[in-house]
Amino acid sequence: MVDTDSLSEPLPRPPFWRDRRVQRLRWPIMGAVVVVALLIGLVVYLTGGRYENTDDASIQGATISIAPSISGRVIAVKVKDNQEVRAGETLFQIDGRSFQTAYAQASAALANARLQVEQLKATYQQRQADEKAAEDNLKYLTGEAARQKALVAAGTSTQSQATAAANQADQARQALAAAQQQAAAALAALGGDADIPVDQHPTVRQAQAEVATAGLNQSYINVVAPQDGVVTKVEQLQVGDYVNAGAPVFSMVSNDIWVEAEFKENQLEYMRPGQHAKVKIDAYPDQKFDAKVIAISPGTGSSFSLLPPENATGNWVKVTQRVPVRLEFAPRPDVPLESGLSATVTVDTLHHRRLFGSAQPAPATAP
């Protein structure tokens, strides 16, 4: 007996891949996949080499050693460790009493030097008057000696009177020579210029320089920040410490920061100053910063080491070198950045490959 229920059940559908409609679309789909793959490969080829990146990069900032210009004892420390300061802000103070005394002494020496020059001018004028008087006296005594000689010849005077007159004329001549020497010495003391202004005299100028030096040392009592930045290791300096001129007491990191990226030598063919870049900092993985290449080092990092490699012996292993590249970028106030943070840099070299012919070189860009 035939089961009518089994006859009424529909036949099972063939598998999906055996469906005639799918079989008709299989070749077009495979062709489309091949075309898309070729297009993707073409895009990758044409854009390949345009972007150069490295994760061997870090944030850099200028580290400034804070050192006093004068020696003395610290009487006040105005900042704390890791405090942000502005250019010209006082960092610490040095006891300035000795420098104030030195300034007062230098000022007194300057006043004394001016007085001495005034005295030299008066002395020169007196020496000129003495010289004029000696000239007049010599002229008179020379005439008197000539007159006595004539009277002796006429028989109206004695030889002793003529000899005495001649001796007086000789003495007057010697007195004039001495007066001339004294006047010349007084003029030399004025630097050879009798009309020299008092403040132009070498003695006064030296005293003025000493006053300026004392005033400069007095201004160094307050040690100020040379530029904007953050001071660090301030706890090394305490009130009462004696500091020496030129000896660093703590450090300051400038707010002027940049990115130092180490690119492999085979990544530099199309890299030029002025090209734009993206910077990603490890401390802020969700943030990206716009940057620009400003300089490429003239040598590899190893060439500037204390002991640069010596490859002339022939016994060496070739290692891909890295070249420091400096990039500038504008940090955002809401993202604090510290010197030394690791970063990843991607530079857009604007280099494009071509299907036929040589590759298009990177255009020159102004820094």
pLDDT in tens, 232-275: 999 999 999 999 999 999 999 988 889 999 999 988 988 999 99
Where residue 301 sits, what CATH number does that domain have? 2.40.30.170
- pLDDT reported for residue 1: 47
Share of the chain above pLDDT 70, in %: 82
User: Do both 264 and 367 map to the same domain?
Assistant: yes
Where residue 226 sits, what CATH number does that domain have? 2.40.50.100
Query: Two tokens at 85?
Result: 């300061």
pLDDT confidence bin for 21, thresholds 50/70/90? low
Q: CA–CA separation, 53 vs 49, rounded Å?
A: 10
User: Do both 298 and 352 map to the same domain?
Assistant: yes
Question: Is 0.85 topped by the overall pTM?
Answer: no
Helices (H), the chain: 4-8, 20-47, 97-154, 159-189, 202-219
Q: CA–CA separation, 367 vs 364, rounded Å?
A: 9
Query: Two tokens at 70?
Result: 């004068």
User: Do both 169 and 107 map to the same domain?
Assistant: yes
Which residue(s) pair with 259 in the sheet? 59, 327
Task: Give the pLDDT confidence of 94-143 residue by residue, as tens digits.
Answer: 999 999 999 999 999 999 999 999 998 898 889 889 889 998 988 988 98
> Quick check: is 159 in a domain?
yes
> Quick check: is 7 in a domain?
no
> Quick check: is 357 in a domain?
yes
User: Do both 119 and 194 map to the same domain?
Assistant: yes
> Quick check: is 213 in a domain?
no
> Quick check: is 331 in a domain?
yes
Q: What are phi and psi of 191, to 5 degrees?
A: 75, 20
> Quick check: is 34 in a domain?
no
User: Do both 149 and 227 map to the same domain?
Assistant: no
Question: Is 51's pLDDT higher than 80?
Answer: yes
- pLDDT reported for residue 45: 62
User: Do both 289 and 345 map to the same domain?
Assistant: yes
pLDDT confidence bin for 186, thresholds 50/70/90? confident
Range of the domain at 286: 50-63+254-305+318-367
pLDDT confidence bin for 48, thresholds 50/70/90? low
Q: CA–CA separation, 342 vs 57, rounded Å?
A: 6
Residue 204 CB neighbours (<10 A): 21
Query: Would strands 222-224 and 229-232 be described as parallel, antiparallel, or unpaired?
Result: unpaired
Task: Give the pLDDT confidence of 291-323 residue by residue, as tens digits.
Answer: 999 999 888 866 666 666 666 666 667 778 899
The mean pLDDT of the chain is: 85
User: Do both 260 and 293 map to the same domain?
Assistant: yes
**DSSP structural state of residue 282:** T
CA-nearest of 253, 348, 361, 365 to 291 is 348
Q: What one-letter code names the amino acid at 190?
A: L
Residue 279 CB neighbours (<10 A): 21
pLDDT confidence bin for 12, thresholds 50/70/90? low
CA-nearest of 245, 212, 221 to 103 is 212
Q: CA–CA separation, 138 vs 133, rounded Å?
A: 9
